[in-house]
Amino acid sequence: MHPEITRIQAMLEGQGYVADQTLATSVYLAIQLRKPLLIEGAAGVGKTEVAKVMARALDTDLIRLQCYEGLDATTSLYEWNYQRQLLHIRLQEHSDIPLEVREREIFSEPFLLKRPLLAAITHGRAPVLLIDECDRADEEWEAFLLEVLSDWQVTIPEIGTIKARHVPYVVLTSNRTRELGDALRRRCLYLWIDYPMFDKELAIVRRKVPAINDRLAEQIAAFMQFVRKTKLDKTPGIAETLDWSAALIALHHDHLDEDAVAQTLGVLFKQRDDAERVRTQWLDHLLGNVAALDREPRPWTQDAIDRVAGQASSPRR
């Protein structure tokens, strides 16, 4: 492995993020080439966390733009502080200052409310700009974003053109609720983050939930592998794994059993049908797989998990 990739991987892991070589390489290239990094994957697999740990590792600020349907250029760039403008107008009512001068004053930078894109462009040092869930915004806003990423400058009619002081490190995330345009994709480096394999998920649980014992951590990571082989409306990601681990510790469970899982289904499954399906149809099957794996020699491997899953009978419908 290239020594710089190793350094980036260690830097990310030093901030609590378990990174593989592919992810570390993508982050390294995004930093070196100053190209936006587009990260796609299912919800809860750690896409947003990449930007957060990048900011901490680079010792810079994180500026986050949360996208949503109806987001427009003005909302993501700036707004005028109307209350402050109105107060200033009232204070200047009896002033001898010419009207055109007063108008210029209230449409100057002190009265500007910087939203994430403008805040990133005018930041005193290169921040990490997280454009989260960009697939939720519409195509018109995507075209505007592409223009910003191309030129790193914006024009405010009352002020003029503002150029970036320092080009930000940009991370875009997408859950693929809609397909992003080819033009935006070509502008970016690309990374797909899948659900973690057993070894990685176990390492994440141990890193993020240090109070957990080895047996419970192994059983949780294995259980999640078996769960993701079932058909669910919303497959739980690593975020749910960590919440579930913390919940089991809070309830003083040191291993998985039927009561422990049944009590905490609401932590793991966020759809009623999924929770009910697991409770009534799959729980015995999933715990049976974990019990069968318990008879395997340690350390457990992904091959052992796949073998147990392949040998087990299907849950009743």
Provide the pLDDT confidence category of residue 314 given band limits of 50, 70 and 90.
low
Q: Does residue 218 share a domain with residue 176?
A: no
Strand partners, 174: 40
Boundary of a domain, candidates 159, 192, 225: 192
Q: Does residue 183 share a domain with residue 234?
A: no
User: 184-226 pLDDT, tens per residue?
Assistant: 999 999 999 999 999 999 999 999 999 999 999 999 999 999 9
Q: Does residue 213 share a domain with residue 97?
A: no
3-state secondary structure the chain: CCHHHHHHHHHHHHCCCCCCHHHHHHHHHHHHHCCCEEEECCCCCCHHHHHHHHHHHCCCCEEEEECCCCCCHHHHHEEECHHHHHHHHHHCCCCCCCHHHHHHHHCCHHHEEECHHHHHHCCCCCCEEEEECHHHCCHHHHHHHHHHHHHCEEEECCCEEEECCCCCEEEEEECCCCCCCHHHHHHCEEEECCCCCHHHHHHHHHHHCCCCCHHHHHHHHHHHHHHCCCCCCCCCCHHHHHHHHHHHHHCCCCCCCHHHHHHCHHHHCCCHHHHHHHHHHHHHHHHHHHHHHHCCCCCCCHHHHHHHHHHCCCCCC
Entry pTM: 0.88
Q: Average of pLDDT values for 252-281?
A: 96
Please, what's the b/e burial string for 164-183 (b: 16 or more CB within 10 A of its CB; e: otherwise)?
A: bebebbbbbbbbeeeebeee
User: 105-152 pLDDT, tens per residue?
Assistant: 777 778 888 999 999 999 999 999 999 999 999 999 999 999 999 989
| Residue 230, domain member (yes or no) | yes
Q: Does residue 129 share a domain with residue 71?
A: yes
Q: Average of pLDDT values for 258-280?
A: 95
Provide the pLDDT confidence category of residue 88 given band limits of 50, 70 and 90.
confident
Cβ(71)–Cβ(137) below 8 Å: yes
* 8's tokens: 């980036």
Q: What is the pLDDT of residue 155?
A: 84
Q: What is the pLDDT of residue 317?
A: 45
Q: Average of pLDDT values for 299-307?
A: 95
* 245's tokens: 């681990």
Boundary of a domain, candidates 192, 215, 245: 192
| Residue 316, domain member (yes or no) | no
Handedness of CA 297, 299, 303, 307 (dihedral sign): positive
User: 28-80 pLDDT, tens per residue?
Assistant: 999 999 999 999 999 899 999 999 999 999 999 999 999 999 999 888 999 88
Strands in 128-132's sheet, in edge-to-edge order, are: 62-66, 128-132, 169-174, 37-40, 189-192
Greater confidence, 93 or 256?
Answer: 256
The tokens 């974003």 sit on which residue? 145
Q: Does residue 143 share a domain with residue 40?
A: yes
Boundary of a domain, candidates 192, 221, 239: 192
Closest CA to 219 of 195, 200, 245, 238: 245
Q: What is the pLDDT of residue 156?
A: 85
| Residue 317, domain member (yes or no) | no
In terms of residue numbers, what domain contains 244?
Answer: 198-311
| Residue 151, domain member (yes or no) | yes
Q: Does residue 187 share a domain with residue 202?
A: no
Strand partners, 114: 78
Q: What is the pLDDT of residue 247?
A: 98
| Residue 22, domain member (yes or no) | yes
Q: Does residue 301 share a domain with residue 243?
A: yes
Instruction: Answer whether residue 233 shows pLDDT above 60.
Output: yes
Q: Does residue 208 share a domain with residue 182?
A: no
Provide the pLDDT confidence category of residue 282 given band limits of 50, 70 and 90.
very high
Cβ(217)–Cβ(223) below 8 Å: no
What is the CATH number for 184?
3.40.50.300
| Residue 93, domain member (yes or no) | yes
The total number of structural domains that make up the chain: 2
Q: Does residue 183 share a domain with residue 262?
A: no
Q: Does residue 17 share a domain with residue 145?
A: yes
Q: Does residue 211 share a domain with residue 185?
A: no
Q: Does residue 127 share a domain with residue 57?
A: yes
